[in-house]
Every structure is written in structure tokens, then in C-alpha cells.
Structure 1
């Protein structure tokens, strides 16, 4: 069995606890939940649409660090503070994924770190085997 490889990229916020931004194991990349934090400024946008956009940009950066991409995502989990904002989040989500269809769960949560409105994690496949 291949050994897991810890992923790290400056294009997504650094992990702030005992976890990795992502892990690659064989032909799969597991992206930890990405908050909508701009990796350069550390700022968080105010609305759910901008937060979804930043979270997905961070997800994409971690996946790319592991040799995957949004096009190879097989499963996402979206943690949403207010399910009433689902349509707004979903419209931005669709801009990133287009007609690609992967499995997805969306879960309303009471609170997220730094009181953000959305957090997104993903699992994606890669085309080249792990070295």
C-alpha cells in the first residue's frame, strides 16, 4: 500500500491545527475543509457568494498541489451556516464545476471556525500514480 503524502501550498491558507491542507494517497487526493480565507491577505469576505468562491479557489489550490483538479473531484462536502443561503452558494459552486457532476453533501452547521458562512472539503482522483 502506498504511503500518504502531506500536501502544502502557499495558494491556500496554512493549516492552523494538527492537520494537513490535504493528503494524497495513491490515486486520490483528500482536501481538508477549506475556509474562505484569502491566503495572501488573511481576509474573509462578507457574503456567502464571495466566501464560496474563495473556499473553492482554496480547494482547487490544494487539489493541484496533489496532482488533481476540480475536474477530477468525485465528492465534496459543503458545510453551510444557513441553509437559506443554499441557492446563493450553489450558483457559485456551479460556476466552478460547470457540468461536471460529483457526489456532494451539504450540511447546515451551527458554527464554523472564524464564524465564516461556508467551508468546503473535497476528494479527487489523479491521473498519475503516486511516486
Structure 2
């Protein structure tokens, strides 16, 4: 199968060796996004801002790759603090709506993230 790489030049990029997204067949695999702002800085201690930024960047990545958040089949959310779970759900619904018939499958786990200021990281798989 053909593999297509997508790196949206309008998004902040970390120095990590990865692509924003890879399309293989009819699927787009989006790399994990922490809540970077436009200057590749993390809003320290601000879960809500980090969550909205990560979802905004996922949305922009999918659109750049010719897809959309409406075509997401699976979302993985990694939380640094279990205490942010309820707020995560509220913000999640800002992007995915409140109608369960439109929600993608999802896994949410508490995990130790690679940098101390990361409060979350989100990745997903979408249909092209």
C-alpha cells in the first residue's frame, strides 16, 4: 500500500522524529498531540487550554490530510492526572458534540507523559 505523510506547516512542531499524520489505504493515523500553543510552548498547569489546543491541532491535521473530525473512528487520550477526567469529557463534547450517535470509539488512560508540563496527549485514527 501507498503511504502518504502529512505535516501541516501551519501547526507547531516539536523536535521529535514523527509526522503529524500518515495515510495508509483509507485510514489516517494522527500522531499524539500535547497541548502546544503556536510557539510550541505548553500552557503550564492549564488543562482546559491544553485540551482545546490538542483537539484544534488534530482537527487541523485531519483537514490538511483531506479528512475531518467527523471521520474519526478511534481516539486515544492520555491524561497525566485522573482528576482532569470530567473536564476532559466536557471539552471533548465541544468538538464531538453531545449526541452519542456521533461519538468515535475512545480509550482514556492515566499515564506518565514524557514532559512534566504535559497534562494530556491525544491521538486518533480517521477515515480518509
TM more than 0.5 = yes
Mean Cα displacement is larger for which, 41-50 or 102-111?
41-50
- More displaced 10-residue stretch of structure 1: 24-33 or 110-119: 110-119
Residues 1-131 of structure 1 mapped to structure 2, 5 A cutoff: 1=1, 3-38=2-37, 40-45=38-43, 46-98=45-97, 99=99, 100-113=102-115, 115-126=117-128
Query: What is the CA-CA distance between 1:18 and the residue it aligns to?
Result: 2.1
TM-score normalised per structure 1: 0.87
8 Å CA contact 2:13–2:40 kept in 1: the answer is no
The whole-number CA distance in structure 2 between the counterparts of 1:92 and 1:41 is 22
Q: How many Å separate the matches in 1 of 2:120 and 2:114?
A: 7
Q: TM-score, normalized by length of structure 2?
A: 0.89
**Structure 2: 5+ residue runs without aligned partners?**
none
Q: Which runs of 4+ in 1 moved over 6 A?
A: none
CA distance in 2 between partners of 1:84 and 1:114 (Å)? 16
Q: Give structure 1 stretches of 5+ with no counterpart.
A: 127-131
